[in-house]
Amino acid sequence: MIKKPFIIIFFLLVALLFSCKKEEVEYNLFLSDNTIQAGQHDSTALFLAFNQPLHIDIQYDSLNLYGEGTLYLDLDLDGVNDLTIHQTTINQANIGLLNGAMPSVFPSLSISSTHAISVAYKTEYYSSATSEDIPAHWIDTINYGTTIDADLNWKNIQNDSMYLWQQNYNLQNFPDLSNGCWFSITEDKYIGIKYNNKYGWIRVNALSNIDPTFISFAIQR
């Protein structure tokens, strides 16, 4: 016959065991919450929708051939710019001024920062006359609702830059190099960002690569 004190001790140990497992599961669930979905936000995120989508103001040179412009974003709204968005372009109406020569500046759209900010990217591989499987890294085009977390590929762009797209004028030497993820898209996409170990997104309308607009952004608090 089993004595009552033994039975009581047995059930106490079982209860303690299950309570420890429950705490461990809750802890793991808490860790998995360090995510954000592209285009979505709640009270745990800092969100800003611009009253009017932001455009990049392009200024052309004296020949009205090469143009460039810069746009700045303050992600944490502390009065300090965190991201620099830079665009270069060529006025197609005056491209004849090149007389068939290679442009000195390729049309492009890139992002850089002086802060420790990372962007989600994807890699494509291309070849040249002498090499194969050359990697090209582009800022990824993230779809609405996609989870932005540590599982994406991230590159720190502090004192560096990464392209959304850059037009390939050198098809003779790099015939299979694309113009980048953002060059020919048909709907709004999102840039994945990571700043101070917090994840966020920037909504971009780049249906016209000549005139991309920046609509809103959100980042975890």
In a domain, 173, yes or no: yes
Q: Judge contact between 219 and 200, C-beta under 8 A.
A: yes
In a domain, 11, yes or no: no
Assign residue 157 a region (left: φ > 0; alpha: ψ between -120 and 50; beta: otherwise).
Answer: alpha
In a domain, 199, yes or no: yes
Residue 14 has pLDDT above 50, yes or no: no
d(CA 99, CA 21): 73
Q: What is the pLDDT of residues 158-207, one digit of tens each?
A: 999 999 998 876 656 666 677 888 988 889 999 999 999 999 999 999 98
Q: Judge contact between 72 and 85, C-beta under 8 A.
A: yes
Q: What is the pLDDT of residues 56-91, one digit of tens each?
A: 999 999 999 999 999 999 999 999 999 999 999 999
Indicate the number of domains in the chain. 1
d(CA 44, CA 66): 43
Return the HEC string of 127-150: CCCCCCCEEEEEECCECCCCEECC
What is the domain range of residue 167? Answer: 34-220
In a domain, 116, yes or no: yes
Question: Is the CA virtual torsion 42, 48, 50, 55 positive or negative?
Answer: negative
In a domain, 126, yes or no: yes
42 against 24, higher pLDDT: 42
Query: What pTM value is reported for the model?
Result: 0.80
Q: 75 vs 172, 188, 221, CA distance in Å? A: 40, 20, 11
Q: What is the CA radius of gyration of the chain?
A: 25
In a domain, 135, yes or no: yes
Q: What is residue 172's predicted lDDT score, i.e. its pLDDT?
A: 64
41-46: long-range contacts, CB 8 A cutoff, minimum separation 24 = 41/218, 44/220, 44/221, 45/200, 45/218, 45/219, 45/220, 45/221, 46/75, 46/76, 46/77, 46/200, 46/218, 46/219, 46/220, 46/221
In a domain, 1, yes or no: no
Closest CA to 188 of 149, 167, 217: 217
